[in-house]
Amino acid sequence: MNSFFINHKNKIALIALSLALASCKAPMATKVQDRVKETIPQNFENQTTSENNSGITPWKQFFTDPNLVNLIDEALKNNQELMITLQQIEIAKSDVMYKNGKLSPTVAARLGAGIEKVGRYTSTGAGDASTDITDGKEVPENLGNFEGGLVANWEVDIWHKLRTEKQAAVAHYLSTVEGKNFVLSSLIAEVADNYYELLSLDNQLDIIHQYMDLQKKALEVAKIQKQAMAATELAVKKFEAELAKSNATEYDLKQQITEKENQINALLGRYPQPIVRTKESFMSIVPQTVYTGIPSQLLANRPDIKQAELELQSAKLDVEAARKEFYPSLEINAALGLEAFKPNYLVKMPESIAYSLVGELAGPLINKSAIQANFKSADAKQIQALYEYDKTILSAYLDITNQMSAIKNLDQYYEMKSQEVKALDQGIDIANQLFRNMRADYLEVLMNQRDALDAKMELIEAKERQLSTVVNIYKSLGGGWK
């Protein structure tokens, strides 16, 4: 009897030793080092060091146009992309609940009924034939089985594998929240950018109308001069062609305005309708002064950087959980209830009470290709997440550097274009006066009008680029979502 227990203990020890040796062969994860984050510059290129940061300014304070504020408000309520992102958060939240649930035992109610007939010449059949259930009453040949009770299953988290999976799910959930914040920031910037583009198109259309008025007057003068034999039919045709070209531009701008309005309507999640705006003050808008702060603030302000960082954290935890798949797992199964071959015997207790308690320790020994592949996949995703994180930080820094340089150069460009427009407007008046007095030909008038039109169009576009650049850098600094 003692030798039996000794042999039994030896078998258990041998199994435990085999499982321990198997777990020792678990591969190691790749060590990743975040060099981009560690080497981020102390300040932006050509910028003085200051902790003032426009990215922390609430968007309702940053944008002061009431029409634009109303549009952004509606977009934040109805934008479909934002609604989709909110559902991604709910999916991630449910995954956290699922992972958390795996840490606790699973308990279920079970009811069952069945019938069984075993062969007479089997150990079970022979035993049943020689056994009485009660005095003088043999075990029936067709033996029923009725049962009801509770069953429980629990994987004991001895290696903290399940906890690691839960931590990975939590990190992914938090990354979806940051993803939502990034969508908010991008949506606000996109609405503002399209709004300024729409105002730019409105002003370009007004310039075309002013230009057409000038061309009509010049055409009338050319016709009068032709009748007076002071000009040729060629001059008349040139002015008519120029007027037709302006008419074509007018229709093209009207189509662009319609498309831009509908682009804004799409962002607001609504069908086509007019966009309320005030175009007259567009050219007098003074762009906001932007403060970049220091580069390290990007790590806390920009939602996409925080999202990438959390995804990296989640990927590292996934690798750790995948590595623990090589370790043995301990599972406990238990059942408690009533069982009998006839329903009326179920109430006879304690005879009908049945229970079981089983603990199993199992680990992979051979043919581990599936968990090896899973580990390699998780390890590669971890490295991929690091590259994504580094790329996001680097792109953010370069983007702000480019945008700040653009602000300075656009200010100078706008100033030079303003001077050009002023000079060309004066040139138009002089050319028209000379043409009426027959001291200049139609080509001089046409060239002056074309140059002035191009310069005014470019000036309007420069104003729009100024405003859009400010919007973009506000987004690049992480503004809009707070």
Nearest to 320 by CA among 159, 458, 148: 159
pLDDT of residue 187: 97
297-330, pLDDT tens digit by residue?
999 999 999 999 999 999 999 999 999 999 989 9
Residue 145 confidence class, pLDDT cut points 50, 70, 90: confident
218-249, pLDDT tens digit by residue?
888 888 878 878 667 887 888 899 899 999 99
What is the distance of C-alpha 60 from the center of its chain? Answer: 23
Q: How far apart are CA 244 and CA 235, in angstroms?
A: 14
376-416, pLDDT tens digit by residue?
999 999 999 999 999 999 999 999 999 999 999 999 999 99
Question: Do 310 and 176 meet the contact criterion of CB atoms below 8 Å apart?
Answer: no
* Other C-beta atoms lying within 10 Å of the C-beta of residue 18: 13
373 domain residue, yes or no: yes
Q: How far apart are CA 353 and CA 347, in angstroms?
A: 9
Triad 430, 434, 440: Cα angle to 5° = 115
Residue pointed to by tokens 């005014």: 456
* Other C-beta atoms lying within 10 Å of the C-beta of residue 339: 18
Residue 43 identity (one-letter amino acid) = N
Nearest to 339 by CA among 109, 107, 111: 111
- Residue 105's alpha-carbon distances to 50, 98, 163, in angstroms, are 55, 13, 14
Q: How far apart are CA 148 and CA 143, in angstroms?
A: 17
265 domain residue, yes or no: yes
Of 76-80, 114-118, 362-366, 420-424, give the lowest mean pLDDT range: 362-366
Q: Which residues of 113-141 are buried (b: 16+ CB within 10 A; e: fewer)?
A: eeeeebeeeeeeeeebeeeeeeeeeeeee
150 domain residue, yes or no: no
| Helix 66-78 vs helix 161-227: crossing angle, to nearest 10 | 140
Q: How far apart are CA 267 and CA 250, in angstroms?
A: 26
What is the full DSSP assignment across 52-79? -BGGGS-HHHH---HHHHHHHHHHHHH-
- Compute the half-sphere exposure of residue 72: CA atoms within 13 Å on the CB side of its CA: 28
Q: What is the CATH number of the domain that holds 469?
A: 1.20.1600.10
Question: Do 317 and 300 meet the contact criterion of CB atoms below 8 Å apart?
Answer: no
Nearest to 450 by CA among 218, 202, 201, 197: 218
Q: What phi and psi values does residue 199 have, to the nearest 5 degrees?
A: -65, -35
99 domain residue, yes or no: yes
Residue 409 identity (one-letter amino acid) = N
9 domain residue, yes or no: no
Q: The whole model's pTM is what?
A: 0.86
1-59, pLDDT tens digit by residue?
444 344 555 555 555 555 555 555 788 888 877 788 888 888 887 666 667 899 999 99
Question: Between these two residues, 41 and 265, which has the higher pLDDT value?
Answer: 265
- Expressed as residue numbers, the domain containing 275 is 30-130+158-328+363-477
292 domain residue, yes or no: yes
Q: Per-residue pLDDT averaged across 434-439, rounded? A: 71
290 domain residue, yes or no: yes
User: How many domains are contained in the chain?
Assistant: 1
First to last CA, the chain: 74
118 domain residue, yes or no: yes
Of 88-97, 126-135, 312-321, give the lowest mean pLDDT range: 126-135
Q: Which residues are CB-neighbours of 270 under 8 A, at least 6 positions away?
A: 74, 78
The helix or strand, by DSSP H or E, that contains position 336, with its residue range, turns out to be strand 329-340
